[in-house]
Structure 1
Amino acid sequence: MMRDPDRTIGDFWRKAAGLRAILHVMASICIVATGNSLLTTTVSLHLSDPAIDPHVVQLLLTAFPIGFLAGCLSARFMVVRFGHERAFLAVALLAAFGACGYMLTEVAPVWFCLRLINGFSIATLFVVSESWINLYADQKNRGAYFSLYMLMTSLATLFAQLLVEAAGATSPHLFQIALGVILLGLIYARFVGGPWPVLRLPLAVTVDAGNAHSGHRYGIWRLAALAPVAVVCVFQAGMTNMNVYTMTPIYAERVHLDAAVAVTLVTAFSLGGMLAQAPVGWLSDRMDRRVLLLLQGLAGTGLCAAIAWPGSYPQMLLYGLFFAYGAIALTIYPVGIAYANSQLDSRHMVSASGSLLLLYSIGNIMTPGLAAQLMELFAPQALFLLLGSGAFLVAATACFNLLRRPIGAAKPCFTTGGNE
């Protein structure tokens, strides 16, 4: 029986209404995240100067993830106090304030504090955005909304690298550009984009419902028992994202590549991740996500080994390796999150999301200093041996998740139709 074309178009339009309603929210996230990403890249380019004490570099690299952790822990209280939209605007203003500080001084203790602010801002931005999306979406469209959100964050990273290339990696105006982009995002979010769509439940009711039964809150250990591969994926994502974006300029300088090549490597990495989001998301809805994560972990391990292989590569081949690695590494996180959500009842998703972001920040904190130390003790290529070990751990845990007996207490809640 053929369906009425008018009814089909009407159904599609109604389903797309919610997506259209949040496009300006996604645009705000993209613009502010672009400024924050540009700020991170600019700081990394400054820290690649061989005249800077390596211990100072390690200290400054650690400041961002500590701020990120603080943002993960305090974002929920900001949302309860101010609401999602006001919390987002406050964090964007704080990020702009931090960007101003880099232009005033290069004193290491001040930069440490500014890196704390930068990490706090981006973490709070992510927590506010992801918790709002989880509360606004329903079971049928949560996957689509989260995919769009991941696309916006990938575009933000890509746009930041393109701005660096356009201005020049050695430009003295990169901090001013980062400040301008963050302010642009703040102006757009406050005056151009309009108010955020209202949640189905008042925020206070939603929060009270989430706290009604503390025993139902999903902490890291409970998530690890339910879906260990998801926990490892999130930790690996925190480790990979932080190290690639902050350590690649330092790696490039130590293997005698200029700053422009370092920026292009990060751009290739970001572009690979952005272009792979849609096809990997399509695959994850049509095959067992644990099998997909196993394949991604093995591929990531092989690509890291190829990048770390002794000897020099032609630049185009190196760009290709970074592009392929970005396509693998930057899609492990959403597949892992989708698998975790498919194992949870919808009322636990916000709680679990906060725990997973906390784990992401732990990956941020633990590994940049370790990566810098390994690069100093052994060779610059040790960075990718560390990243490869994280990808291998994803593959090993996915294999374990496939072979172990299912937990009877787990209540599947299929949000995107994947086979688990």
Structure 2
Amino acid sequence: MSTFRRLAGETKQRAARFRAVLPIMVGICAIGTGNTILTTKVSLHLSEPSISSHVVELVLTAFPLGFLVGCLVARPLVSRLGHERTFLVIGLLAASAAGVYTLTTVATIWFCLRLLTGFAMATMFVTIESWINLYADQGNRGALFSLYMLMSSLAVLFGQLIVEAAGADSPFLFLFVLISTSSGLFCSRFAGNRWPPLPKLLSDDASSFAPARGYALRQLVRLAPVTVVSVFQAGMANMNVYTMTPIYGERVGLDAALSVSLITAFSVGGLLAQGPIGWLSDRMDRRLLLLLQGFATTCVCASIAMLEASGEGLLCALFFAYGATALTIYPVSVAYANSRLASRDIVSASGSLLLLYSMGNLLAPAVAAGLMDRVSPHALFILLGSGALSVAAAAFFSLLRRRGTDANSSLAPCEGQ
């Protein structure tokens, strides 16, 4: 009976935690929906033949560059303002930028706006991911992070559905961005109570942030090299599928509606896979899971690269499979790294990982656009498949060291995975 009561108490406590974070997650979904609409609308505009490749590369580089800056300044902002205030202030900045798109299509202004949007999204990502990892414990970190990724995947899906429903050329898409972003901020702040408090040990800024100050990428390389490779690859792949697919579709002769459908299929695949992958990541060695994910993603990318544009149904199915495999690599790799970190290091490590993500995001558009111009449009997926193969290789070599690593670890087996 005591065991039953203990399990019932733990279940009730976990359910209460999920209910407490639900308004925040819904807010993230709404803000992400706005960002998806904006990204798709900008990419569709850039796919027009009248726009030069230099302008395309310039505008596409702005978002990841701003993302990089956001990763660098997020931790000091969280240290000064706290998680909730940082999220709300930067969210207002993103909403303000969204409103300016309706006023002009000048490339230099769009570059500045994409720079600002990238900065805002990175800061919000660092803020919310570090907050989740501080709020979670070892038993539910994978589940909470999968819920976060589920909301992110839903956001992409909703964004694509709105674009399809309104039409790629609709003048109201930028208005939808503004409404969606503002609604997300309202929900995360006013739909529920204040954000749930972090554990007492972590609520003191002086103790939480100062020791994490020097936690750098080189330390993450030593602690979890497979995470470093996986996060960099995710930066190369995830956002760039959304930005480059309309351009890829135009190059291989697909119409704009089908390009949006491919992104929708990619998003649905990632959405449906988040729950099962999150469940698996809490119950098996995450390095083995990353090995399987990396290998499967490589195979799917190779299939897309070899498929001709005439196989539209198969192409949608492959994009669905690609989303299911590629969009789940990031949460598994981050959960693996955070399970091996001390609590005081999580905020700094989250910023470092997103900085690494932004580096991949910054490099990929220019490299992919150059390969598509000089080699073939299908070179986009050769590049993405190569990144996925590197994840599989890193996970394989990490597993080769598993016996010695596990023998020297003081963590329980489920905690070290």
What's the TM-score once normalised by structure 2's chain length? Answer: 0.93
How many residues end up aligned between the 2 structures?
416
Q: Answer with 269-278 or 192-201: which moved more.
A: 192-201
Q: For the Cα contact (< 8 Å) 1:226–1:407, is it kept in 2? A: no
Residue 339 of structure 1, aligned match among 321, 336, 350 = 336
Q: Is 1:366 aligned with 2:342?
A: no
Shift, 1:316, TM fit = 1.2
Q: Answer with 334-343 or 187-196: which moved more.
A: 187-196
Shift, 1:191, TM fit = 3.4
Q: For the Cα contact (< 8 Å) 2:235–2:357, is it kept in 1? A: yes
The verdict on how the C-alpha distance between 1:113 and 1:266 changes in structure 2, with shifts beyond 3 A counting, is same
SS in 1 for 2:200: coil
The verdict on how the C-alpha distance between 1:323 and 1:90 changes in structure 2, with shifts beyond 3 A counting, is same
Which residue does 1:38 correspond to in 2? 37
Residue 217 of structure 2, aligned match among 204, 214, 220 = 220
Residue 264 of structure 1, aligned match among 261, 264, 271 = 261
The verdict on how the C-alpha distance between 1:88 and 1:342 changes in structure 2, with shifts beyond 3 A counting, is closer
Amino acid at match of 2:316: Y
Which residue does 2:383 correspond to in 1? 386
Which residue does 1:238 correspond to in 2? 235
SS in 2 for 1:103: helix
Q: Is 1:28 aligned with 2:27?
A: yes
CA distance in 2, matches of 1:367, 1:263: 20
CA distance in 2, matches of 1:164, 1:256: 20
The verdict on how the C-alpha distance between 1:407 and 1:270 changes in structure 2, with shifts beyond 3 A counting, is same
Alignment of 1:400-415 (within 5 A): 400-404=397-401, 406=404, 411=409, 413=411
CA distance in 2, matches of 1:224, 1:177: 41
Q: For the Cα contact (< 8 Å) 2:79–2:209, is it kept in 1? A: no
Amino acid at match of 1:399: F
Which residue does 2:251 correspond to in 1? 254
Which residue does 1:325 correspond to in 2? 322
Which residue does 1:102 correspond to in 2? 101
Which residue does 1:182 correspond to in 2? 181
The verdict on how the C-alpha distance between 1:173 and 1:412 changes in structure 2, with shifts beyond 3 A counting, is farther
CA distance in 2, matches of 1:379, 1:365: 21
Which residue does 1:306 correspond to in 2? 303
What's the TM-score once normalised by structure 1's chain length? Answer: 0.93
Which residue does 1:129 correspond to in 2? 128
CA distance in 2, matches of 1:313, 1:76: 48
Q: Which runs of 5+ in 2 are unaligned?
A: none
Q: Is 1:350 aligned with 2:355?
A: no
Q: Which runs of 5+ in 1 are unaligned?
A: none
Amino acid at match of 2:146: S
Amino acid at match of 2:49: P
Shift, 1:325, TM fit = 0.5
Cα distance per residue 1:218-260 (max 9 Å; x no partner): 3111211222111100001111012101000000011111111
Alignment of 1:54-203 (within 5 A): 54-201=53-200
The verdict on how the C-alpha distance between 1:225 and 1:410 changes in structure 2, with shifts beyond 3 A counting, is farther
How many percent identity over aligned positions?
A: 60
CA distance in 2, matches of 1:331, 1:99: 28
CA distance in 2, matches of 1:125, 1:96: 13
Cα distance per residue 1:7-66 (max 9 Å; x no partner): 754542233112211111111111112111211111111111111000110010000001
Shift, 1:3, TM fit = 6.1
Q: For the Cα contact (< 8 Å) 1:289–1:418, is it kept in 2? A: no
CA distance in 2, matches of 1:354, 1:13: 32
Amino acid at match of 2:344: R
SS in 2 for 1:22: helix
CA distance in 1, matches of 2:137, 2:283: 20
Alpha-carbon RMSD across the aligned residues, in angstroms, is 2.2
Cα distance per residue 1:45-89 (max 9 Å; x no partner): 111111100011001000000100111111122222222222111
The verdict on how the C-alpha distance between 1:14 and 1:283 changes in structure 2, with shifts beyond 3 A counting, is closer
Amino acid at match of 1:114: L
Cα distance per residue 1:153-209 (max 9 Å; x no partner): 111111111111111122222111111111222232343333212223387724434
Q: Is 1:398 aligned with 2:395?
A: yes
